[in-house]
Structure 1
Amino acid sequence: MSSPMSADRFLGSLRAEGLTVVEVGDWRHHNRNHKGPWGPVHGVMIHHTVTRGSERTVDICRDGYTALPGPLCHGVITKDGTVHLVGYGRANHAGLGDDDVLRAVIAEKALPHDNEADTDGNRHFYGFECENLGDGEDPWPDVQLEAVEKAAAAVCRHHGWSERSVIGHLEWQPGKVDPRGFTMTSMRARVRERLK
């Protein structure tokens, strides 16, 4: 059982992994904690944004929209590999997902197929939104994929987790397809190598 790291430790961990990090507004206190607890944390969830343009993407992820208030993640990874911190605490990114998947993440075992949505993921996962249209055609620059790898590894390194604590939204919630354009199997392999 892991308590979330402090906001300062999160920032420090990302920078120690070699990432370029931009702090957006009062990100340390921008959260949805009034809607429920954040923690214990068990993993890192990767998403794509279905947006184009870094500034617009960061704004949407910070502020959200009428049906889904922000923050929509903790960090936004833009195409240039920069991590923009937009919130810290509970964020509207994971939604309801499969309790069997959560148990597998906690045990760091192979993930079962997600076939139900009965567990609050916003409570248990760090979330990174990645700037991409998610259409399978919008490219993922190498520098962006490297930043996804580093961000996930930074969180895992702090908590003593393996790459099996890194999942995609599509592995958590039935019907989700993100991230689309690379596989989570390949990303976990990259995280595993980095954690060595």
Structure 2
Amino acid sequence: MSDDHTHVQKFFTARATDWDTRFPDDGPAYTAAVADIGLRTGDRVLDAGCGTGRALPPLRAAVGPSGVVLGADLTPAMLDAAVRARRHREGRLLLADVTALPLRSAALDAVFAAGLISHLPRPEQNLRELARVVRPDGVLALFHPIGRAALAARQGRRITPDDLRAEHNLRPLLARSGWRMTSYVDENTRFLAVAVRGDRSS
């Protein structure tokens, strides 16, 4: 396991037990974000970096019983917390690295990723891996239950111009990774950037 992955695993292992109780009011934001990405009954969707699985119930509700919901995370303690919260009933949990997914190419209709981008060791390459597993015109949703300014304030830091989630950085990063951004919202109450899988050569 790389140093990047070890650091991420240690960070989330230490926080897994009380993760949901630290952020008890985020559920409606997840539900609203899932509603905004246009999933259909029967779709196949991955929650990339699913953590304790908070997105799995709204994802299952969106794709229905005929759809496929997967949750992939690198940290066993987070997946254990998802099971304790009974969210494993909403989808299949995978102990997997989202930078090298055990999925065939074009297997999915959509990827939902909450708070993931800041933990990617090589964002362009890693977003390209997410593009690999999504069909052409499939969707990527990069979500956070609070916006960039609110998150920075919570963490006691300032937003810097090189913030990957800033629109002027994220749009070209996605384009280089096989995605075309179609919408971008950065408000105190949520961050949601939606992109469509395009021609990888563009």
Tell me if both proteins adopt one fold, taking TM over 0.5 as the criterion: no
TM-score, structure 1 normalization: 0.31
* Greater RCO, CA 8 A, separation 6+: 1
Which of the two has greater strand per residue?
2
Compare CA radii of gyration and give the structure with the larger one. 2
